[in-house]
Amino acid sequence: MHALLNDIAIHPHWVLLAVFLAAFVESLVLIGTLVPAGLVMFTAGALIGAGALNVWLTLSIAAIGAVAGDGLSYEVGRKYYERLRTWQFVKRRTAIIDRGEQFFQRHGGKSILFARFFAPVRAVVPVIAGIAHMPRARFYAVNVGSALAWSPAHILPGVIFGASIQLAEAVSGRLALILIMMAGFVWLTTWVMRVGIRTGLPIIKSSRDRLLQWANRQASGRFTRLEGWMSYFLAPRRPESQILLVLTLLLVGSSWLFLGIMEDVITSDPLVGADAAIFHWLQGLRTSPVDHLMVAITELGGAGVLWVVALTVLGWFVAWRCWRTAGYWVITTAFAQILVKLLKWTIGRPRPLSLYNGVEQYAFPSGHATSSMVIYGFLAFLIARRQPPLIRMSTAVIAVVGIVLIGFSRLYLGAHWLSDVLAGWSIGLAWITWMAIVYTHQQVKEDLHPRILAALTAVALLLGSTWTMHEQFSADLTGYAPTAKIKAVTLDQWTRTEWRQLPQQRTEISGDNEEFFPLQWADSATTLQRRLTLAGWQPAATWSMPAALLWLAPGTEVKNLPVLPKYDQGKSSELAFVALDPVRPLTRMILRLWQSDYLLEDSVHQDRIPIWYGALYQEKLQRPWHLFTLGSTANLPDASLIPHLLQVDMRTAVLPNTQNGLFRQVVLVLPGG
C-alpha cells in the first residue's frame, strides 16, 4: 500500500484524469446513470487524506469535469435532442427522461443544483434544461455553483476517511485493517440492499407475471391445485402478492442455507476448516481499542439489550391494543430463543474459546446472530411494512448493517465460528420470513404507528445499551480478553537466558515483524516514571477520542499532541514518555514500553517487579496543506545510544543479540540503579 501511495504521489495525473472523466461522464445524458462517480470521488478523497494527492487541485479538477459534463448535456439537449430520440439507447430509457422532465418542471432552475445530489435524475436534468431552452447565462451560473458544492461534498468525506486510516495505520496496521474491513462491510451491505431492491424486485415481478401466465394456460391437469394456489397468492389484484413472493424466496433460500451449514458442521466438511482459519486470522488482528468497540457492538445483540427492546415493543403493541401483532411478536421472539437452546444442546459443538457455562458453552448456532436477526429483522419488517420506498430502504439497511456488525463482533471476539454465525443468520431469517408470510397472508391491519414505534425502539436501544454498558461492559471486556501466562524469573535467569524469550521485534499482523526492541527494563511503573521525570521526560498525554481529534487540527502545538499508541501482538504500550526538541519544533523523542509476561523476583524487598520491553523513537510531524497533522516515527535501534539519550542514572547490561541474520544489541536496565 505504501508503494502504491508513493507511485500515485509521483504520478498523480492518472488519478486526476480518472477524477475528471468520472465527474464529466457522470453528467452526460443517460450515460451518467451507469458511472459510479461517487466511489471514484471518495477514493480520490481517501488518497488526499493519505497524502498522495493535492486537495485543492483535486477539488478543482472534479468541479471542472462536472461543469463540462453538465454543459455538454445542456448543449446536446438544446440542439440535437430530436435526433437523439431516435436512438435505441434513449428509447429504452424513456422512464428516466420522463422522471427528469417532472423533476425540472417541479423545481425549475433549482433542479440543476438539486440534480447534482439526486442520482436518479443527475444525468437527465441538464439535457432537459437544454430542451426547455433555459437561458445560457442562468444555466451556467447554476452549473458552476452546483459543481463547486458537489465536488467537496463527495471528496471531503473520503479525505476524512483517508486521514483516519492513515492515522490508524500509524497506530497499528491491525487497527487500520479492521477499520477498512468494517467500512467495507457497511458499504457492501448497503450496496447489496440497494441493488437487491432496485434490481431484484423488478425481476421478481416479471417472474411472477410469467408464472401467472403459465398458470392461466393450464386449464386442467395434475398441477391444477398448484395453479390455483399460484393464482390466489400471486395475483396482482392482491396488493401483498409481491411481498409474499419475496418472503417465500427468502424462506426457501435461508432454510436451504441453514440445513447445508448444519450438515457441514456435523460431518466436519471443509467449512469447518475455514472456521478455524478465520478464527486464528481474526485473533491475530485483535487490539485493545477494537476489543472495546467489538464488545460494545456485541452487547447490542446480547440478552440485556434485546430484552429491553423486545419488552418495550410488546408494551407499545399492548398499549395500542394491537393484540394480534403482540401475539405474533411474542411467538416470534420466544420460539427463536427456545429453538437456539435446543439446537445448542442437541449438536453440542464447543466454542473456539471457553467463555460460558451450561448450555451456553455450546456454539452452534450463534445466539447473538439468531436473536439479533429475529428481533431486529422482524421489527424492521413491521416498521417498514406499507411505508414509502425510502423509509423501507432506510429501515432495511439500518437493520441489516446492525445485524452484520453484531455477527462480525462474535467472530472477532472468538465467541463463535463463522459457520455458527451464518447458521444463526439463516435460521433466524427463515423463522421471521415464515412469521412474516403468515402475518401478511392473514392481512393483519392493526395501526402500529410505525414511525413512533421506530423512535421508541431507538430510545429503548439507547437505554438498554447504556444500562448494559454500565453494568456489564467491564466484566464482559475482561471475559473476552485473551489470557496470558505470567512467568517469574530471578535476576540471574533473566540476564543469562530469559531475556531472549521477551519479544525481540514488534509484531503487528502475524508474520509481519516491525522494528527491533533494543531495551528491557525491570522496575515498577511508579519508580520507572519517577526516574524518567527527573531526567526531563514527561508522561505522554492520556489517549482519548478528543485527544485523537487534535491530530486533525493543524494548529495544535506539538506538546499538546497525544502520542499515537503502537501495538505489539495487539497489545498497546502501557507506558509512553515524551522529550521535546527545542531546536526542531516538529520533532520529538518518544519512549514506548510494553509490559512483558515476565516478573523479576526481587530478593531484597521480597517482591516481584514487572519486566518491560520497548524502544526509543524519533517522531517527525508534517501538516500537509494545513489540513491535519501526520506523524512518522523511526525507532533508534542502536542500543549503545540508549543510556545517553535517556539520561537516566541506571545500571545496565548490554548483551549481543543475533536474529534473522542481523546483529543487534539489547540494553537491560537492572533494578536498583
231 part of a folded domain? no
* Residue 625 confidence class, pLDDT cut points 50, 70, 90: low
* Residue 224 confidence class, pLDDT cut points 50, 70, 90: low
pLDDT at 122 over 80: no
Q: How far apart are CA 516 and CA 636, in angstroms?
A: 9
Q: How far apart are CA 276 and CA 173, in angstroms?
A: 22
45-55 in b/e burial notation, b at 16+ Cβ within 10 A? bbbbbbbbbbb
CA distances from 195 to 34, 189, 191 (A): 13, 10, 6
Same domain, yes or no: 505 and 414: no
pLDDT at 574 over 90: no
Same domain, yes or no: 431 and 497: no
Same domain, yes or no: 473 and 602: no
Question: 634 in the Ramachandran plot: left (φ > 0), alpha (ψ -120 to 50) or beta?
Answer: beta
pLDDT, residue 443, reads 81
Q: Are 368 and 298 in contact (CB under 8 A)?
A: yes
534 part of a folded domain? yes
Q: Are 354 and 346 in contact (CB under 8 A)?
A: no
Same domain, yes or no: 256 and 371: yes
Which of these, 292, 287, 173, 291, lies nearest to 570 by C-alpha position? 287
Task: Give the type of residue at 471.
Answer: E
pLDDT, residue 50, reads 67
pLDDT at 221 over 60: no
CA distances from 325 to 319, 322, 453, 556 (A): 12, 6, 13, 56
Q: How many domains, the chain?
A: 3
Task: Give the type of residue at 98.
Answer: D
Q: Range with the lowest mean pLDDT among 170-179, 287-296, 300-309, 314-323?
A: 170-179
Give the residue from 480, 512, 547 where a domain finishes: 480
Q: How far apart are CA 36 and CA 25, in angstroms?
A: 10
Same domain, yes or no: 132 and 113: yes
* Residue 612 confidence class, pLDDT cut points 50, 70, 90: very high
pLDDT, residue 297, reads 92
262-271 in b/e burial notation, b at 16+ Cβ within 10 A? bebbeeeeeb
Locus of grid cell 463540462: 68
Q: Which residues contact 607 (CB under 8 A, 6 or more apart)?
A: none
* Residue 271 confidence class, pLDDT cut points 50, 70, 90: confident
200 part of a folded domain? no
Same domain, yes or no: 75 and 93: yes
439 part of a folded domain? yes
- Strand 487-489 vs strand 587-602: parallel, antiparallel, or unpaired? parallel
For residue 198, what is the DSSP state? I
Task: Please give the residue that has the higher pLDDT: either 626 or 180.
Answer: 180
Q: Which residues contact 258 (CB under 8 A, 6 or more apart)?
A: 365, 423, 426, 427, 430
Same domain, yes or no: 529 and 465: no
Write the DSSP string, 608-630.
Answer: EEEEEEEEEEEEEEE-GGGT--E
Same domain, yes or no: 533 and 417: no
pLDDT at 95 over 70: no
Residues in the chain: 673
* pLDDT tens profile 510-526: 556 778 888 889 888 88
Give the residue from 171, 199, 225 where a domain finishes: 171
Task: Give the type of residue at 625.
Answer: W
pLDDT, residue 241, reads 67
State percent of the chain over pLDDT 90: 18
Q: How far apart are CA 141 and CA 572, in angstroms?
A: 54
* Cβ neighbours of 159 (radius 10 Å): 25
3-state DSSP assignment of residue 286: coil
Same domain, yes or no: 467 and 541: no
Q: Are 111 and 129 in contact (CB under 8 A)?
A: yes
116 part of a folded domain? yes
Task: Please give the residue that has the higher pLDDT: either 147 or 427.
Answer: 427
pLDDT, residue 220, reads 52
Does the predicted model carry a pTM greater than 0.85? no
* Residue 353 confidence class, pLDDT cut points 50, 70, 90: confident
pLDDT, residue 118, reads 62
Burial class (CB in 10 A: 0-12, 13-18, 19+), 288: middle
Mean pLDDT of 289-318: 91
pLDDT, residue 436, reads 92
Task: Give the type of residue at 393.
Answer: M
Locus of grid cell 431486529: 376
pLDDT at 339 over 70: yes
Cis peptide before 365 (omega within 30 of 0): yes
Q: Are 484 and 474 in contact (CB under 8 A)?
A: no
Q: Range with the lowest mean pLDDT among 228-237, 374-383, 649-658?
A: 228-237
* pLDDT tens profile 230-253: 555 555 556 666 777 788 888 999
Same domain, yes or no: 419 and 548: no
Q: How far apart are CA 189 and CA 178, in angstroms?
A: 16
Helices (H), 197-287: 201-217, 224-234, 241-267, 270-283
Give the residue from 140, 171, 202 where a domain finishes: 171
Helices (H), 413-524: 418-441, 450-480, 491-496
560 part of a folded domain? yes
* pLDDT tens profile 53-87: 777 888 888 888 888 888 887 777 777 666 655 55
Mean pLDDT of 104-123: 60
- Strand 587-602 vs strand 575-580: parallel, antiparallel, or unpaired? antiparallel
Q: Which sign does the torsion angle of CA 497, 498, 501, 502 carry? A: negative
Same domain, yes or no: 317 and 458: yes
206 part of a folded domain? no
Q: How far apart are CA 611 and CA 598, in angstroms?
A: 6
As beta bridge partners, residue 568 has: 571
Q: Are 129 and 27 in contact (CB under 8 A)?
A: no
Cell matching residue 153: 461534498
Cell matching residue 40: 471514484
Same domain, yes or no: 414 and 339: yes
* Residue 639 confidence class, pLDDT cut points 50, 70, 90: confident
pLDDT, residue 657, reads 64
pLDDT, residue 361, reads 86
pLDDT, residue 107, reads 56
* pLDDT tens profile 397-445: 899 989 999 999 999 998 899 999 999 999 999 999 999 988 988 888 8
Mean pLDDT of 593-597: 90
pLDDT at 386 over 70: yes
Average pLDDT, the chain: 79
235 part of a folded domain? no
pLDDT, residue 65, reads 86
Task: Give the type of residue at 467.
Answer: W
pLDDT, residue 298, reads 93
pLDDT, residue 607, reads 76
pLDDT, residue 425, reads 94
> Range of 288's domain?
243-480
Q: How far apart are CA 143 and CA 115, in angstroms?
A: 10
Q: How far apart are CA 489 and CA 10, in angstroms?
A: 53
The CATH number of the domain holding residue 437 is 1.20.144
